[in-house]
Structure 1
Amino acid sequence: MHGAFADGSGWRGVCDILTAQGHRVTIVQNPLTSFEDDVAATRRVLDLQDGPTILVGHSWGGTVITEAGHHSAVAGLVYVSALVPDDGENTAKQYEGFDPTPNFTIDVGDDGFGFLNHDTFKIGFAADASDEDAAFLRDSQVPINMSAFATPVTRAAWRDKPAWAVIATEDQSFDPAMLKHMATRANAEITYVSASHAVFMTQAGVVAQTIQTAAENALAQVQVG
């Protein structure tokens, strides 16, 4: 699942790797119109799955999977440079006490929807991508209703489901210390990789391997059960 300012197209590399390994992969296209709408879109896709499912979220998508992860199909959660709020917390609260990210600049319109700034997009979101790939991400970005960041999670799914996390150590959208704090609190198994916030695209192999590990864990639990 993609995060804010993006869509699912950047996940093509991860999808191709996992599909070649025999997994069924479905990409959630979040509308980014509200927290509730994104959770509903995720649950709609989960209803289509025919077996144990690993729910994966990048960035803002981490908040969404934390709420949607209670779905009966979900056997595990993977957070990819993602927000991991707790019960009653919203996205905005996660930033408290951590370093600012001045290269991650959001321009908000009169209608309350935000885009990432055109000039700082590459360094703030996709510094390790090629100029061409970063430009495509920049020019295909999807704005998010900024009010979504103020909506709290009702119950954190990671309290009941096993979790994994991929943390990009060169992330300029989130303070990596914030990512570590959230993932550790969720008792997630953490993989660190030198990458930008666009780690889902620039380090597709690492992300796919983490999802594969989560899937193997889910299969083992089914076999034990």
Structure 2
Amino acid sequence: MSTTSEAITNVVLVHGAFADGSGWRGVYDNLTTRGYRVTIVQNPLTSLADDVAATIRALEAQDGPTILVGHSWGGTVITEAGIHPNVAGLVYVSALAPDAGESSAQQYEGFAPTPEFVIDVAEDGYGFVRADTFQAGFAADVSDADAAFLSDSQVPINMSVFGTAVQNAAWRTKPSWAVIAKEDKAFDQAMLNHMAERMGATITHVAGSHALFITQAGVVSDVIVDAARNALVSAA
């Protein structure tokens, strides 16, 4: 990637499984107040190709260099979509980060299970986080009312996506940052740290659940701003 003196003011946010783009509202408000142009992708969660296509459409609409941000499954999406020429840097928010030729499911191999994060899979192959463990596994640091809303508004994901290998790993050629929630029950902490360290990401640890994109919007926004200010320095 060639160097440029153009300031990065564009941010594209990619949500993960079992959620939609509305969870980014706090990050959106924080960044737009600070002068950033923020676009939120609505992933269909039907296949990796479909989610990447939705993200590419958002990237095509940007008017210059962009920071691409993914939460959870969104990390796999930005890993593939992040090779787009508009992307100057990547931010992984408690997110998956496979290498080229690897699937999301492979990232779990060798790491501890997450018994509080339980996914029920319907006959059609789409999965939901089980309602009775949703708050404990996904959003332990939100109010009971907000956890109930998040659970009842889940977007199911086609579970086959986790077995789909990415063809490209954008973090191999573009600078990356990672925000890791220290009380994340969806992923083993060792797994999150392993993926971030393998990328050579600048890592920020923060107290919070897997829903840190909601509950730690300020910290996540600060990391995105740091990426926007420093990606051009790192991207040569």
TM-score bucket (shorter structure) = over 0.9
Given the alignment, which residue of 72, 81, 85 partners 1:72? 85
1:67 aligned partner, one-letter code: E
- 1:37-62 per-residue CA deviation (whole Å, 9 max, x = no partner) reads 00000001100000110000000000
Q: Is residue 2:108 matched to residue 1:95? A: yes
Given the alignment, which residue of 140, 148, 152 partners 1:127? 140
Q: Is residue 2:193 matched to residue 1:185? A: no
Question: Are the equivalent residues in 2 in contact too, given 1:28–1:41 (CA < 8 A)?
Answer: yes
Q: Is residue 2:164 matched to residue 1:151? A: yes
1:62 match: 75
5+ long unaligned stretches in structure 2: 1-13
Structure-2 separation of matches of 1:131 and 1:54: 33
- 1:138-191 per-residue CA deviation (whole Å, 9 max, x = no partner) reads 111100000011000111000000000000010000001100000000000000
Structure-2 separation of matches of 1:178 and 1:220: 29
1:29 match: 42
Structure-1 separation of matches of 2:184 and 2:68: 22
Given the alignment, which residue of 163, 168, 181 partners 2:176? 163
1:69 aligned partner, one-letter code: G
Runs of 4+ in 1 over 3 A off after TM superposition: 218-222
Q: Pairwise mapping of residues 34-53 of structure 1 onto structure 2 (< 5 A)? A: 34-53=47-66
Aligned-residue RMSD, C-alpha: 1.1
- CA gap of 1:133–1:174, structure 2 versus 1, over 3 A, is same
Question: Are the equivalent residues in 1 in contact too, given 2:175–2:231 (CA < 8 A)?
Answer: no
- 1:109-152 per-residue CA deviation (whole Å, 9 max, x = no partner) reads 01000011010000000001111211111111100000011000
Identity between Structure 1 and Structure 2 (%): 71
Shift of residue 218 of structure 1? 3.2
Aligned residue pairs total 223
Structure-1 separation of matches of 2:233 and 2:101: 32
